[in-house]
Amino acid sequence: MSVKIATWNINSVRLRIDMVKEFLKEHQPDILCLQEIKCQNDQFPAAAFNELGYEYQAVHGQKGYHGVATVSKLPLAAVSSTDYCAKGDTRHVECVIAAGDKKIKIHNFYVPAGGDEANVETNPKFAHKLDFLEEMKDLDSVNDGASSILLGDLNIAPLETDVWSHKQLLKVVSHTPVETETLNAVMAAGGWADLIRHHIPPEEKLFTWWSYRSRDWSNADKGRRLDHIWSSPDLVENLVNINVLRDARGWVKPSDHVPIIAEFNF
């Protein structure tokens, strides 16, 4: 069976629900993982997703901030979330799907951005980000006999080719050495595979986010790859395609992030 899983930091699902609906109609992912939904659970536009066949929904929202949601055409089991750093933020939701002969855990993450200053002594937001990543090291890619997919806005661009200028961004939050090294340590500790870079060579520049501050975002192309799709090693061979929808950044009133779709054959 073919399964398409998408991730997208939507930056307010209610504000952009029409955009999301058009995306779903055109690309038909089986599962869509959203970050920064910016609404409480009872405010989530569940009916709009139901109308398009996404009747299975795992929503973990919060008033005005953060929030993650996974909507699916496939049944979702064992829905839960972890309160990383015990702050009460809604930055993680997990569920389980059955695909072919596999049971797959899907972890939908929104890692803290970390503020503007890469200093844990003077910037509590940056300290929070690093603490959050440390706790993510305990997440195994294969657990309880289930394979896993970890995706979402991880707010770090780990490779030199994941940013428009490695030298100019070395001291900028999202690409500092302490962040990239910690993210790599999370990947190594859990045995995760970077599916995007398995499909798109690491030598190729690739971005998923462009700042709203850049009016001519496409020509300036000062982007970063902040959004990721990882998996347990056994799922690498099932990956058929990765599609980063760069054009979505140019849609009317877009999110500053674009959707990514991973297609698997099981």
Question: What pLDDT, on a 0 to 100 scale, did the predictor assign at position 186?
Answer: 98
pLDDT digits (tens, 9 = 90+) for 212-244: 998 899 999 999 999 999 999 999 999 999 999
For residue 143, the model assigns a pLDDT of: 85
pLDDT computed for residue 136 by the predictor: 98
pLDDT for 23-62, tens place per residue? Answer: 999 999 999 999 999 999 999 999 999 999 999 999 999 9
Give the distance between the most distant pair of CA atoms in the chain: 51
Q: What average pLDDT does the segment 188-193 reach?
A: 98
The backbone torsions φ and ψ at residue 92, rounded to the nearest 5 degrees and listed phi first, read: -155, 135
Q: What is the pLDDT of residues 129-140, one digit of tens each?
A: 999 999 999 999
User: pTM above the 0.95 mark?
Assistant: yes
| Overall domain count for the chain | 1
| CA neighbor of 233 nearest in space, from 204, 198, 196, 192 | 192
Helix (H, G, I), strand (E, B) or coil at 79: strand
Q: How confident is the model at residue 75 (pLDDT cuts 50, 70, 90)?
A: very high
139, burial (CB in 10 Å: exposed 0-12, middle 13-18, buried 19+): buried
Question: What contacts 65, CB < 8 A, 6 or more positions away?
Answer: 38, 89
Q: Which residue has the tokens 């399964």?
A: 3
> What is the pLDDT at residue 84?
97
**Confidence at 147, pLDDT banded by 50, 70, 90:** very high
Q: What letter would DSSP give residue 202? A: T
Beta strands in the chain (DSSP E): 2-9, 31-35, 56-60, 68-72, 77-80, 92-99, 102-110, 147-153, 193-194, 209-210, 223-224, 227-231, 239-244, 260-265
Name the average pLDDT for the chain. Answer: 97
Question: What percent of the chain stands above pLDDT 90?
Answer: 97
The reported pLDDT for the residue numbered 214 is: 84
The domain that holds 175 is classified in CATH as 3.60.10.10
Asked whether residue 109 carries a pLDDT value surpassing 90, the answer given is yes
Residue 30, C-beta contacts closer than 8 angstroms, at least 6 positions apart:
3, 4, 5, 72, 73, 74
The string of pLDDT tens digits covering residues 159-187 is: 999 999 999 999 999 999 999 999 999 99
- Domain of residue 94 covers 2-265
Q: Is 120 exposed, middle or buried (0-12, 13-18, 19+ CB in 10 A)?
A: middle
